[in-house]
Amino acid sequence: MDFIGTILAFCKCVGPPICQYVRRHRKLSEIMRNLERALQELNSKKADIEATLKAECDLGNKQPSNEVNDWLENVERINNEAHSIEEEVKKGKYFSRARLGKHAEEKIQEVKEYHQKACSFTSLVIAPPPTGGLTLTTATLAGKKTKKVVERIWEDLMGDKVTKIGVWGMGGIGKTTIMKEINNRLQKETNKFNVVIWVTVSQPLDLIKLQTEIATALKQSLPENEDKVRRAGRLSEMLKAKAKFVLILDDMWEAFPLEEVGIPEPSEENGCKLVITTRSLGVSRSMDCKEIGVELLSQEEALNLFLDKVRISTSQIPNLDKEIINSVVEECDGLPLAIVTVASCMRGVDEIHEWRNALNELRGLVRSRNGVNADVLGRLEFSYHRLKDDKVQQCFLYCALYPEDFAIPKEELIDYWIAEGFIEEVKDVQAKYDRGHTILNRLVNCCLLERAEDGGCVKMHDLIRDMALRIKSKSPLFMVKAGLRLLKFPGEQEWEENLERVSLMDNHIEEIPSNMSPHCKILSTLLLQRNGYLQRIPECFFMHMRGLKVLNLSHTNIEVLPSSVSNLTNLRSLLLRWCRRLKRVPSVAKLLALQYLDLERTWIEEVPEGMEMLENLSHLYLSSPPLKKFPTGILPRLRNLYKLKLSFGNEALRETVEEAARLSDGLDSFEGHFSELKDFNIYVKSTDGRGSKHYCLLLSAYRMGAFMITGLELPKSVILNNYKICRGEEPIVLPEDVQFLRMFEVSDVASLNDVLPREQGLVNIGKFSHDLKVLSFVHCHNLKNLFSLWLLPALQNLEVLKVYGCDSIKEIIAVEDEETEKELATNTIINTVTLPRLKKLRFYFLREFKRFCSNNGVLVCNSLQEIKVRGCPKLKRLSLSLPLLDNGQPSPPPALEVIEIEKELWESLEWDQPNAKDVLNPYCKFEAF
């Protein structure tokens, strides 16, 4: 019996592991599919976080939090390790299947943990702005009635009785302008509300999207894989934590129950307020809001607004005929958007004949339409016709391909215009961009586009967009179904022969029917980007699209690009960025017209065959972790390259480093990621120490970089990211004309001296000193000081100095000379450090930071504009040498604007000059961090 018991115990111990072994061996393919799905979800989350991070950092000089940086780096590591497992599986070794299955399952668990961790982030950045919301750009309010509406809304917001307000009126009447004014006034009313949240709703109503945008406005996030009910619970808790909030929902088209989204019902007890703007009185009533209508302008108000926008004084009116101007204003029917748009396109016209002609055109457009909305669109269409330039009109209409309320990136838009051939009167690429920006400014000045809050984008008012789409409802046609959350691809009957441009971006399309081959011979643009579920495109799909010039499949899940793409001989722009499953691109040998090829963050193993034939290529972006082959000799053939982005993170591209460097003189911009110091140095040396007009060089231990180069402040930048640059290899060689130098998690650097060692000689330092303007050290935990006195000549043009999260740093400037050190210690001399162009000093979360310079060293920087100090508990002296007045009393630096610091720390600081603290007190902004 003991023997049998022993056998049973043995079976209990070894049975489960054997079963696991067999299961993993047999089901390896299924396990790998599960890993691929989990990775897809994680990388989608990563893309969202990086996009949000870029927006937040660009808006307010903020930095990613340590937690977020660690997460991004680990996700990159997980991707690389998962790729290694995939490569091992492909080798097909029979006896490795169970081991690989075990590794894959462990990786799946890790992927799920990191996906869940991302959902728990409360904030992506450190040092968020202390304001209760975002200040928005807005136009001047027009008319007494409009100003009365503002005061009515303000009175209800400041009072306790009214908790929900519905601002309603026809499109273009000024509802959004009114609420932007209210929003900006609320930013100053910090005692009444804790936070002001602005969200544009638009159509079609998508409650999941609305939940996400409210959470994003709160600088938080919601799990994407949860259902609407659970997300509503989380959002409700977020909003309740803010206590008294104002939620502004702009441009609502449908009513919805607040509890379905997770918005706590505003009440007198909780002090919260909801304001909606809508074109429908019914929506306002359904939401149980107090109704505040916005009326059309009176004739007098309309005339004053028109004259202000057309920039004509009353003294000029007799020369033009007051009656004609009044008639033009009458045709605008008191609608502010129509008045501003028409006036803007008549600015500078002083011929009476042109005014008469304009009036006739305007009357014809308005009276040929039926219905109120059609009349409004007719008035707006007048401004389109007044452009009187077919190419500029085409540029304007192209903007309607983007979803409603979309912030359209200027550079991306101009790239499309160039690819479409709208800008062909100039040949030089830079001249084309200049022409593109000139057209954009003209459209903005004509009020057909508006500047977005992000200065790099423009937006289209929804009524203007409706007008553009109505113009393109006639041949040749646009098909625009962008941002509608479509699941199904448009049917064959919708693909008419006279389609010119199609936009299906930002949807949830899962598949294109296998036999679909639309006969669209004049189709020039097809935008399918950001359809994350799309995995396959039929081989026959592009067969009858020979006129295609722009094809955007970025951020889709396609694995293979159909070989029929190889025959699109008119194609100028092929965009495949972030197609993370794309493994192969067919031959591009026939695509001789191609100008833009974007293969950034794809998964291709070889560059497309025939790439050396693309002599018209002006933009090439290429980075792919599994890339195994990049033949030398291709880059020199691409003689017209203007922008180049390459990752030298694998062996395939390393041999092309010198080829890329030799192109630098002719490039406008180059972005390069290097994973080896020797490759970085080869590139810099091969450019003779000076890069292209704009460049960013990233040296990172990670094959793809933890986060690639976003929101840089200057055009010539070097980023050292998590790389040990002092580990016994050759010393790093920096470009002589670098303007921006950031070290991020460089653990073996104790000082900038290690990057620019003294033995290089002052001659090299002198060359280097000419351009350096920004120095940034982030999470360099062994950093003891920033630089020594001998390096000071290299920093005479320094404008910004940032030090974040460096645990060991005690002082900024180190004194290495023993004799000088002794003199300083006995106070026989005062060490003066002059940085004549320094504008910004930022010291964040430096636990050991005590002083700027040893003992009595002082900093002279009369151009200083801001000082920001946070989380520096041991700081004793700021060591600023203030300018002196004629009477010998100190005065603040002439350009000083603000000092942000904790009040307790400010009170404890010691000063070198008497009265220095009193002089600087008025500039202090005390915050608790």
pLDDT of residue 648: 87
List all residues 6 or more positions away from 157 whose beta carbon is below 8 Å from its beta carbon.
165, 182, 186, 192, 246, 273, 275
Query: CA–CA separation, 737 vs 770, rounded Å?
Result: 7
Tokens for 646, please give them: 């390459």
Give the number of other CB atoms < 10 A from CB of residue 197: 24
Residue 767 and residue 798 in contact, taking contact as beta carbons nearer than 8 Å: no
Tokens for 915, please give them: 């009265």
Strand partners, 811: 851
pLDDT of residue 848: 93
Query: CA–CA separation, 246 vs 217, rounded Å?
Result: 12
pTM of the model: 0.76
Spatial strand order of the sheet with 273-278 comes to 195-200, 245-252, 273-278, 164-168, 290-293
**The three-state (H, E, C) secondary structure of 861-913, written as one string:** CCCCCEEEEECCCCCCECCECCCECCCCCECCCCCCCEEEECHHHHHHCECCC
pLDDT of residue 376: 78
pLDDT of residue 72: 81
Query: CA–CA separation, 357 vs 164, rounded Å?
Result: 47
Q: Is 811 helix (H, G, I), strand (E, B) or coil?
A: strand
Query: CA–CA separation, 502 vs 481, rounded Å?
Result: 8
Query: CA–CA separation, 590 vs 568, rounded Å?
Result: 8
Q: Domain 144-293 in CATH: superfamily?
A: P-loop containing nucleotide triphosphate hydrolases (3.40.50.300)
Helix extents (H) in 620-698? 634-637, 651-654, 657-662, 677-686
pLDDT of residue 710: 44
Strand partners, 450: 459
Give the number of other CB atoms < 10 A from CB of residue 8: 10
When the pLDDT of each residue in the chain is averaged and rounded to a whole number, the result is: 84
pLDDT of residue 709: 46
CA-nearest of 642, 540, 559 to 603 is 559
pLDDT of residue 529: 96
Residues, the chain? 929
pLDDT of residue 509: 95
pLDDT of residue 763: 41
Radius of gyration of the chain from its Cα atoms, rounded to whole angstroms: 31
Q: Name the stretches of the chain with pLDDT < 70.
A: 1-25, 51-67, 94-95, 119-133, 138, 189-190, 313-320, 366-375, 702-714, 727-729, 757-761, 763-770, 815-830, 854-856, 927-929
Q: Is 787 helix (H, G, I), strand (E, B) or coil?
A: strand
